[in-house]
Structure 1
Amino acid sequence: MAVYTDIEENALKNFLLDYDLGSLISFEGITEGVENSNYRLVLSSGNYILTLFEKRVNSAELPWFVGYMGHLAKNNISCPLPIKAKDGQALRQLANRPALIVTFLDGQAVKNITEQSCLELGRALAKLHKAGEGFDSERSNKLGAQGWKALLSQCDSHGDQKIEALISQTHCDLEKVLSHWPEPKELPRGQIHADLFPDNVFFKNESLSGIIDFYFACTDFFAYDIAICINAWCFENNEHYLPQRTAMILQGYEEFRPLSPLERNRLPVLCQGAALRFLLTRLYDWIHTPPGAKVVKKNPWDYQKRLTYFLEHKSV
């Protein structure tokens, strides 16, 4: 989450007239994340999240996200539920951006990752994958392996030697990863979250209470979603890999969806690809985030370290 587009209070009040949500009490921007503009709304009927879609999200695909979140909520996954306006539509326009209001989930991101929180993460991810099996519509992974070369080609160092060195090394590493990447039908696939970082997983009273931010969700390898979690949850201080956390994620996951031997075998290269994907998007945002945007830019070098680790170690 982040804020790229500012909202005027009167414009927001007029926007809310299309809903049966009561009156506006307060609103504030949420600076976490990097993709869309997000606001926390306090209305007389309760708390909500307003998202204005920017950058990488294709507006034509937004109904897919709305449908997917609605499907998950109906299948007992604790996630934000899109709110429909008086005309029955969830998607609207505000500040010349596609806009969506969703329910507010109680809880907060875990402050200190533990083996227990990793176990619960694995369980929740498997349940998410199982629940998505009934959602037949597919969305291709726009930030998947087929798009990595194009994304890297859009990164220019502008004379910065440190960035130039990162770009050069990433070109080499990209070829290594792609040379071993699974074929599209090689592994089980379905609907995945594709961005399940700790700040997108809520806990309450030390128990996992919900999952948010589904705007990278897509149809891809289930095991790739696990690899993303391993990258995001299993490193300490962005450098030291903690294999026991991975073991707990896998243990929790396999309570509900056992991995095939081939999925296990391909998990190391999927971890390489997950590290590469976030290195590339962070590098792109590091270079292209506009001045004045209310967003905390993520460090791409953190994911270069992860990528280097997984390239040097052939097991997870």
Structure 2
Amino acid sequence: MSVYTQLTDDQFAAFCQSFGVSFARAIPITQGIKNSNWFIQTTDDVDGTYSYVFTLFEERPPADIEKMAVILNQLNGKLPVAAPLAVIESNGSQTDGDDKRYVIHYEDKAITLVPCLAGSHPEQTTQAMCHDIGAALAMLHETLQALQPSEQYGVPLYPWSDVRDREMQFMPGDEAKLMSDIWRSYSELPLTTLPKGLCHLDMFADNTLWNLQKGEARLTGLLDFTEVSVEHYVMDIAITINDFCTTWGVAEQGESVNFDRSKMAAFLQGYESIRPLNNDEKRALPVMLAKAAVIFWLLRLNVIHYNRTEGRTGDNIMVKNPDLMKRLAAYHWAQVEKAQNTVFVLEHARYKDDDRNNDVEDFKLIGVFATEQQAQAAVSQLKNQSGFKAYPNGFHIDEYPIGQIHWSQGF
């Protein structure tokens, strides 16, 4: 939430008055990389306390921010979110229901004012916190299904493939290959079978607030809903896992990237306590983790690109290291490649009376496939064909590691 647009105290006072808030002081918030944000101290606040967060959205059009306000109101009461204040009309009243306005404009940019939420950003996450954020993300996915059609409320997905094509021209060969391999593997997933809906898509730890007491953490705030879009739920899961389950070393420690699979297990347990994943989502998750890291690798490169081309400079501009996301992408891709050292063998045995307890009357090796999904697709293609349709219980899919002997004795 770097500060890109500078406002005067008189401007802050006028904007805050539009929301019915008496302005005293604005304090820049320098964490984050997309919008300009300030804490707002009102005339009723004591020194060092702030009641609101004032956001000037640098990229998103006001219409997108209006959608965000509807989304936050939908979640309000089920999750700890800060719903934008309604604009006070010229006669001093607020409009009701669907006619409420939550956004004011400044140079074609949107401004909102939201209440400050209690709590603080976590410096480190625990397994318990990963469990709780998993459950919260599942609740978000479930609750926003009520907003239909979902495309009407979500903003368009950013054209990351364009950023990829631009940045890959300047990458070392190994980095470009890593990005290309992950992107290709993602495109080969059975994407049409993966559930979709409105997703947060930026649920990093610094977009959450927690109340830490007696060694326990309670989730008190979910922030930054500017990226809510229609996407596969498993992508939103992967984005959140990547930050909550990774320990990012500080610069003095070499900026290490350490992914914790036990934290990921806790996250998934929390998520599935609200919304169970289907088998396709579980199989897609390893590639989605790599792709999600690639997206945020590109996002950070994109920020550097726009800072350079638009001359953005100053002490309030913060740039996150894209190399950290590159290394996380490489870690996940290594796990995918390790999993790809297996094949799936599809066979069909014709049992007498199609009963697996009976003798085999005929046996066919149908094919060897790189993924279980491909083998299942072959079963779907064959099961209604002549012969096979009379013996549907005869299909077998077995997983075999490559390069190993699977029968070590004589016969």
Decide: shared fold, TM above 0.5.
yes
Residue 148 of structure 1, CA deviation: 2.4
Residue 169 of structure 1, CA deviation: 4.0
- The aligned residue for residue 161 of structure 1 is none
Local SS of the residue matching 2:78: coil
Q: Does 1:66 align with 2:69?
A: yes
- The aligned residue for residue 263 of structure 1 is 281
Residue 45 of structure 1, CA deviation: 5.8
Q: Which residue of 100, 107, 113 corresponds with 2:119?
A: 107
Q: How many Å separate the matches in 1 of 2:3 and 2:128?
A: 33
Local SS of the residue matching 2:112: strand
Q: Structure 1 residues 156 and 274, CA, compared in 2 at 3 Å: closer, same or farther?
A: closer
Please give the residue correspondences for 1:33-112 in structure 2 after superposition, counting only pairs within 5 Å.
33-44=32-43, 47-55=51-59, 57-73=60-76, 75-87=77-89, 88-94=100-106, 97-112=109-124
RMSD: 2.1
Q: Which amino acid aligns with 2:195?
A: P
Q: How many Å separate the matches in 1 of 2:126 and 2:56?
A: 33
Unaligned segments of structure 2, at least 5 residues: 46-50, 90-99, 250-255, 340-411
Unaligned segments of structure 1, at least 5 residues: 158-163
Query: Is the contact made by 1:156 and 1:287 (CA closer than 8 Å) also made in structure 2?
Result: no
Q: Which amino acid aligns with 2:34?
A: E
Query: Is the contact made by 2:202 and 2:239 (CA closer than 8 Å) also made in structure 1?
Result: yes
**TM-score, length of structure 1 as denominator length:** 0.89
- The aligned residue for residue 198 of structure 2 is 191
Query: Is the contact made by 1:140 and 1:220 (CA closer than 8 Å) also made in structure 2?
Result: no
Q: Which residue of 325, 342, 358 corresponds with 1:303?
A: 325
Residue 124 of structure 1, CA deviation: 1.1
Please give the residue correspondences for 1:276-315 in structure 2 after superposition, counting only pairs within 5 Å.
276-289=294-307, 290-292=312-314, 294-314=316-336
Residue 16 of structure 1, CA deviation: 2.3
Q: How many Å separate the matches in 2 of 1:156 and 1:124?
A: 36
Local SS of the residue matching 1:297: coil
Larger Rg, first or second structure (1 or 2): 2
Query: Is the contact made by 2:119 and 2:220 (CA closer than 8 Å) also made in structure 1?
Result: yes
Query: Is the contact made by 2:104 and 2:112 (CA closer than 8 Å) also made in structure 1?
Result: yes
Q: Structure 1 residues 246 and 133, CA, compared in 2 at 3 Å: closer, same or farther?
A: same
Q: Which range moves more in the overlay, 303-312 or 40-49? A: 40-49
Q: How many Å separate the matches in 1 of 2:329 and 2:156?
A: 20
Residue 225 of structure 1, CA deviation: 0.9
Please give the residue correspondences for 1:9-28 in structure 2 after superposition, counting only pairs within 5 Å.
9-21=9-21, 23-28=22-27
Query: Is the contact made by 1:19 and 1:84 (CA closer than 8 Å) also made in structure 2?
Result: yes
Q: How many Å separate the matches in 1 of 2:297 and 2:165?
A: 13
Q: How many Å separate the matches in 1 of 2:319 and 2:268?
A: 30
Q: Which range moves more in the overlay, 147-156 or 102-111? A: 147-156
Please give the residue correspondences for 1:161-310 in structure 2 after superposition, counting only pairs within 5 Å.
164-165=170-171, 168-181=173-186, 182=189, 184-205=191-212, 206-236=217-247, 237=249, 238-289=256-307, 290-292=312-314, 294-310=316-332
Query: Is the contact made by 1:15 and 1:94 (CA closer than 8 Å) also made in structure 2?
Result: no
Equivalent pairs, count: 303
